[in-house]
Amino acid sequence: MSLQDYRRKRNFAKTREPAPDDSALGSGRAIFVVQLHHASRRHFDFRLQVGDVLRSWAVPKGPSYDPKVKRLAVEVEDHPVSYASFEGDIEEGYGKGHVDLFDRGVWATRGDAEAQIRKGHLTFELFGKRLKGEWHLVRGAKKERQPTWFLIKADDAYAGDVEADDLLDARMRESTRRAATTPGLRAAAKKSTSRKKAPPKTRKVPAATLAKAAAALDGARKARASNDFFAPQLARLRESPPQGDGWLHEVKWDGYRILASVAKGKVMLWSRNALPWKDRLPEIVGAIESLGLDSLRLDGELIALDAQGRSDFNALQRTLSGEAQAPLVYMLFDLPYLEGYDLTRVPLYQRKALLERLLAHAPAHLAYSGHHVGHGDEVFAMAMEQKLEGIVSKRADGGYHAGRGDDWQKIKRLESDEFAVVGYTPAKGSRLVFGSLLLARPDAEGGWTYVGRVGTGFTDQMLRSLGETLAKGGTKKPTVKIGQIDPALRGALWVPPTAVAEVYYRGIGNQNLLRQPSLKALRVDKSPADLRDSDRAAPAPAKKKAKTRGVPARASADAIVITHPDRVVFPDDGITKQDVVDYYRTVMPWMLPAIADRPTSTIRCPGGIGSPCFFQKHVMAGLEHVGTAKLKEETGAQAVYLYPRDEAGMIELVQFGAVEFHPWGSHVGSPDLADRVVFDLDPGEDVDWRRVVAAARMVRGFLEELGLVSFLRTTGGKGLHVVVPLNPGADWGTVKTFARGFAEAMAALHPLEFVATATKRFRRGKIYVDYLRNGRGATAVASYSLRSRPGAPVAVPLRWEELGKVKSGNAFDLRNVPKRLARLKKDPWDGIDKVRQDLASVNEKLGA
């Protein structure tokens, strides 16, 4: 997009039309404007702000509210955003004639506007005084000198028999009559005298019906209406959701808190800090007005929707700054007042039921925030799986109270948090404004503690804005407490805490600094004082212990409280959460030695195996008895992994919904030194079990020829694991090279029996020798681990002598494994840790 044509066609020394002016950019929402231009041929100029310009079309007959009418729209040169306020006479230059401002407002579209325009079909919504609802711009088939489009009204609640000339006011009609010097313009002047028609009203629930329902609620009181600001109820930050059916759990929407009040039909919108927002959100104001209510108070979150209809905070900020045009939705979760009745003493579940009824026929820009009663840990797990910001848990029978309290609790993902901006570093390279922002959090003594700096995630608009406000002045003396001096802070300028930044990060580093922070958003709706009032104050620094950092104190497994013990985990088998806990307690002496102190991925099924299950390998909120280790990932980044240390940690993971355990082939103390090689024999669907047994014996034989002792395990699925212990261990590169070479050698020697590739079309009728479990970060199911499959099967170690008696890879389950262990005199893998063998000489034999 360019304003080159606009400049070329105008002499700004002679025309009153405005020259391009960057000061008009970034001042608010992306706008649309329609100007009635009485040129030699009367027409309406239809303009949409896309990025830094107004994309423009000349519409001879003006917009029509009739969906059956296709109005010709001729694409013309882009105009500057400063043109949006232009009215008056154009004496000289391009387009001589009088210009009236017909309509102006904001607009929205799902997805990328420029991409839709390039494709030839832009679908969008207008929120103006005269033009409202959904519209289409569709490019015509013929290629003219100037591209032709058609402006078409969508068949929505605003559609009707209304033309642009029906909506002219007296001033515009007078301009039309004065300019009526041609037949075409005289016809337009005659039509402009027709009676103005209003679009149809949307369907709504009658106000009297809602008032009667409000009066009937427990605790409802008659009260006078006011559209003054009312202080919102706030939530305390907690690490895990509360338990029990006395709580309801909602999605924590990723947006801006907005409060709405209506008195005598007049709508006001406020931020949580009492800043008026009415002028910024015309679509929300219009949607609330369409409810037809005299008095009302609403509480909710303003969110933006991406092309897939998901909440997108970045799109929200870019839309509010004019850089994007995402549709906005007011996601409503509370109703403190309605039609003359104060509902703040009404139980929350009753308020929400009435709110849902109120919104039954509301416009799409007003949405109801649903909830789940009870099962907080499962709701939180689902929120994590869907990568939502978190959940808000509320007392179902609670009232609405201003300020922060325990009745509302927010549980967030660990990957983001809010901090005060306390300074900046100088700009370097291509960065023109500043290098990075310095961050701090409130401490327990009433001051602020430095937590690191963030230099990525900024948009150009943010850089411009910060350069004009925050990143100016400052002192070289830190205004907050800092620990070890970071060389990057030389030359930094410090300011008092004045702004709030929300950042993503990957845990806390050794110096209590944020690891790999990236800006998520500048929270213009919050102040540093809000951080001190939200339980974010950092605790007093703990004394450093060299060998126990990140490791929780050991505790008895009896200290773990099992919630919802009757919840069914395996629905086809009637196996409950308590049954799973009892199973793991029984097998713990056999299972724990082979998994303790190894980084471990769990498969969590908080709602049972009939609901979504997911891998969990990183530390999560609420864990107190599980060890944590900071390890490097394949990308080179570091992350905090969890690992079981004792029975308490194992049972705690089960309490959090863990069903399966998959450890690394190394320990947290030496993550780069593998002490296990695992060959997973995975049969194709048409492979008989007897062939799997023969294959395992064949693998054992070849390993013995290489001088390696191996051990055997059922997987709880279709196949078997052949496990080779290493003592001393080997680096992962050596292990992976050996495992791949061995698997490919088996496939080459017996091509009708084995395959060493995961490609399914090659595995039909064969056994896949899976060697990919032998890489850094790869895992294999633990011995005695349950599998999240019907029947509650278990991966069980075997003596080689037992193999012929086992009927399948899932022959053992939750019920028969304890009986098996009661009969055994010793572990089938007894002595595995005493076997001394390595891969140095073996790789030579394989030519690796």
Q: In this structure, how many other beta carbons lie within 10 angstroms of the beta carbon of residue 535?
A: 14
* pLDDT class of 558 with cuts at 50, 70, 90: low
| pLDDT tens digit sequence for 635-680 | 566 788 899 989 999 999 999 899 999 999 999 989 999 999 999 9
DSSP 251-279: E--SSEEEEEEEETTEEEEEETTS-B-GG
Tokens of 267: 């709508």
Both tokens of 45, joined, read 């100029």
pLDDT digits (tens, 9 = 90+) for 737-784: 899 999 999 998 888 899 988 777 777 889 999 998 898 889 999 999
- Reported as a single tens digit per residue, the pLDDT across 70-83 is 999 999 888 888 88
Cis peptide upstream of residue 147 (ω within 30 degrees of 0)? no
Instruction: Give the span between the Cα atoms of 239 and 536, in whole angstroms.
Output: 12
- Residues with Cβ < 8 Å from 354, sequence gap 6 or more? 210, 213, 214, 217, 335, 338, 343
* Per-residue pLDDT, 95: 66
Identify the pLDDT of residue 86.
Answer: 86
Predicted confidence band of residue 562 (pLDDT cuts 50, 70, 90): confident
Of 686, 684, 717, nearest to 790 by C-alpha is: 717
DSSP E strand boundaries for 39-112: 43-50, 53-59, 70-80, 88-90, 97-108
Q: 331: helix, coil or strand?
A: strand
CATH superfamily placement of domain 416-532: Nucleic acid-binding proteins (2.40.50.140)
DSSP 764-778: TTSEEEE-TTSSTT-
Cα separation, 317 vs 314, whole angstroms = 5
| Integer CA distances (angstroms), 616 to 346, 599, 601, in order | 40, 11, 6
pLDDT of 574: 92
pLDDT of 352 above 70: yes
The two structure tokens encoding residue 477? 């003396």
For the segment 251-279, the average pLDDT, to the nearest whole number, is 89
- Mean pLDDT, the chain, rounded, equals 84
What is the edge-to-edge ordering of all strands in the sheet holding 600-604? 614-616, 600-604, 658-663
- Is residue 491 very low, low, confident or very high in pLDDT (cuts 50, 70, 90)? confident
Instruction: Pick the range with the lowest mean pLDDT from 339-353, 419-433, 745-759.
Output: 419-433
> Of 1, 136, 148, 2, which Cα lies nearest the Cα of 64?
136
Q: Residue 711 forms beta bridges with which residues?
A: 723
| Residue of 221 and 620 predicted with greater confidence | 221
Q: Which amino acid is at 828?
A: P
Q: What pLDDT is recorded for position 181?
A: 54
Q: What span, in angstroms and rounded, lies between the C-alpha atoms of 300 and 377?
A: 23
* pLDDT over 70 at 609, yes or no: yes
Residue 541's pLDDT band (cuts 50, 70, 90): very low
**Tens of pLDDT, residues 668-725:** 989 999 999 999 999 988 899 999 999 999 999 999 989 999 999 999 999 999 999 9
Q: What is the pLDDT of residues 508-520, one digit of tens each?
A: 665 678 877 888 8
Q: Which of 229, 289, 235 is nearest to 259 (CA)?
A: 229
Helices (H) and strands (E) in the chain, counts: 17, 39
Residues 757, 684: Cα–Cα separation, whole Å:
12
Q: Is the per-residue pLDDT at 550 higher than 50?
A: no
* Spatial separation of the C-alpha atoms in residues 519 and 317, rounded to whole Å: 12
Report which DSSP code applies to 668. Answer: T
Determine the distance from the C-alpha atom of residue 832 to the mean position of all C-alpha atoms in its chain, rounded to a whole number.
Answer: 45
Closest CA to 331 of 251, 413, 277: 251
Q: Which residues contact 774 (CB under 8 A, 6 or more apart)?
A: 665, 674, 677, 678, 732, 735, 736, 738, 739
- Amino acid letter at 840? A
Indicate if 630 belongs to the active site.
Answer: no
The answer to whether 459 and 323 have CB atoms below 8 angstroms apart is: yes
Q: What is the pLDDT of residue 456?
A: 80
For residue 834, what are the contacts with CB-CB under 8 A and spacing of at least 6? 727
The count of C-alpha atoms lying within 13 angstroms of the C-alpha of 435, restricted to the half-sphere facing its C-beta, is 14
pLDDT in tens, 88-139: 887 765 667 888 999 999 999 988 888 899 889 999 999 998 999 999 999 9
Contacts of 318 (CB under 8 A, 6+ apart): 324, 326, 459, 461
The residues spanned by each domain of the chain are: 4-191, 207-407, 416-532, 673-776+795-812+824-846
d(CA 731, CA 594): 20
pLDDT at 269 over 80: yes
Confidence band, pLDDT 50/70/90 cuts, at residue 540? very low
Q: What is the CA radius of gyration of the chain?
A: 34
Residue pair 711/689 in contact by the 8 Å Cβ criterion? no
DSSP secondary structure letters along 517-547: -EEEEE-TT--HHHHHTTT-PBPPPPPP-TT
CA distances to 446, 485, 543, 550 from 512, rounded to whole Å, are 18, 12, 13, 12
Q: Give the DSSP letter string of 692-757.
A: HHHHHHHHHHHHHHTT---EEEE-SSSSEEEEEEEEEEEEHHHHHHHHHHHHHHHHHH-TTTEE--
pLDDT reported for residue 202: 55
CATH number for the domain whose boundaries are 673-776+795-812+824-846: 3.90.920.10
Q: What is the pLDDT of residues 239-248, one digit of tens each?
A: 788 988 899 9
Helices 816-823, 577-591: crossing angle, 10 deg rounding: 30
CA nearest neighbour of 172 among 89, 101, 88: 101
- As a whole-number percent, the residues of the chain with pLDDT over 90 amount to 43
Q: Please check the confidence at residue 495 and state whether its pLDDT lies above 80.
A: yes
Cβ burial, residue 805 (10 Å; 0-12/13-18/19+): exposed
Q: What is the CATH number of domain 207-407?
A: 3.30.470.30
Residue type (1 letter), 763: R
Give pLDDT, residue 415: 64
Is 829 a residue whose pLDDT tops 90? yes
User: Per mean pLDDT, which range of 2-6, 106-110, 390-394, 829-833 is the poorest?
Assistant: 2-6
In the set 132, 252, 617, 736, the catalytic residue is 252
Find the range with the poorest average confidence among 374-383, 432-441, 525-534: 525-534
Q: Is the Cβ–Cβ distance between 254 and 303 less than 8 Å?
A: yes
**pLDDT at 185 exceeding the cut of 80:** no
**Whole-number pLDDT of residue 557:** 60
Nearest-CA neighbor of 321 among 29, 717, 665?
Answer: 29
Q: Whole-model pTM above 0.85?
A: no
Tokens of 685: 């669907």
Amino acid at 564: H
The DSSP output letter for 311 is B
Q: Which of 13-27, 157-171, 277-291, 492-506 has the lowest mean pLDDT?
A: 13-27
List pLDDT tens digits, range 354-369.
999 999 888 889 999 9
